[in-house]
């Protein structure tokens, strides 16, 4: 089994002021289960470090140390998570204008982006 974490959990492992009982429980689980993160995790983590540095919660040398420790976590990055753009494209492409001119309903069609009737949404 695997445990999927978000940035707030990992930050709590390295920054005492951000720690929580939940983050501690998840840390114990990662000793016996694979650690999985979403594709944007690294960027989000780095952004949190910048914010903590700007707010003077951490000094530069502390941020560098935390980033080094975080790299050693070596999580599995779940690249199967669809991007927000892909999800939106799927949502728009399943609705198609009615086939009868006077019908007010929509019919469900293929989830392919090419199925969209709207020119701004269709893939080319």
CATH topology of domain 2-77: Rossmann fold (3.40.50)
Q: What are phi and psi of 77, to 5 degrees?
A: -90, 120
User: How many Å apart are CA 36 and CA 117, to the nearest integer?
Assistant: 37
Domain boundaries, the chain: 2-77, 84-115
β-pairing, 107-108 with 76-77?
unpaired
What is the band of 118 on the pLDDT scale with cuts at 50, 70, 90?
very low
The side-by-side arrangement of strands in the sheet containing 2-4 is 2-4, 34-37, 76-77
Q: How far lies 63's CA from each of 60, 85, 120, in Å?
A: 5, 32, 43
* Contact assessment for residue 94 and residue 109, using Cβ atoms and an 8 Å cutoff: yes
Q: What is the pLDDT of residue 110?
A: 44
Q: What is the pLDDT of residue 121?
A: 40
Q: Which of 11, 33, 32, 29 is nearest to 20 (CA)?
A: 11
In our burial notation (b when 16+ CB lie closer than 10 A, e otherwise), range 22-50 reads ebeebbeebeeeebbbbeebbebbeebbe
Q: Which of 45, 38, 26, 118 is nearest to 84 (CA)?
A: 38
State what percent of residues in the chain have pLDDT above 70.
65
- Rounded to the nearest integer, the mean pLDDT of the chain is 78
State what percent of residues in the chain have pLDDT above 90.
53
Q: What is the pLDDT of residue 1?
A: 83
What is this structure's pTM? 0.63
What is the band of 23 on the pLDDT scale with cuts at 50, 70, 90?
very high
User: How many Å apart are CA 8 and CA 5, to the nearest integer?
Assistant: 8
At 59-104, the pLDDT tens digits run: 999 999 999 999 999 899 887 765 656 666 666 665 555 555 555 5
């Amino acid at each position: 089994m695997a445990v999927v974490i978000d940035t707030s959990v990992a930050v709590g492992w390295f920054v005492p002021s951000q720690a929580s009982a939940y983050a501690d429980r998840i840390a114990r689980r990662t000793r016996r289960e694979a650690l999985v993160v979403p594709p944007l995790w690294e960027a989000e983590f780095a952004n949190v470090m910048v914010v903590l540095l700007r707010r003077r919660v951490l000094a530069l040398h502390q941020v560098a140390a935390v980033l080094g420790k975080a790299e050693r976590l070596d999580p599995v990055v779940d690249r199967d998570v669809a991007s927000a753009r892909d999800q939106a494209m799927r949502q728009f492409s399943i609705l198609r204008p009615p086939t009868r001119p006077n019908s007010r309903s929509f019919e469900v069609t293929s989830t392919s982006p090419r199925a969209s009737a709207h020119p701004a949404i269709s893939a080319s």
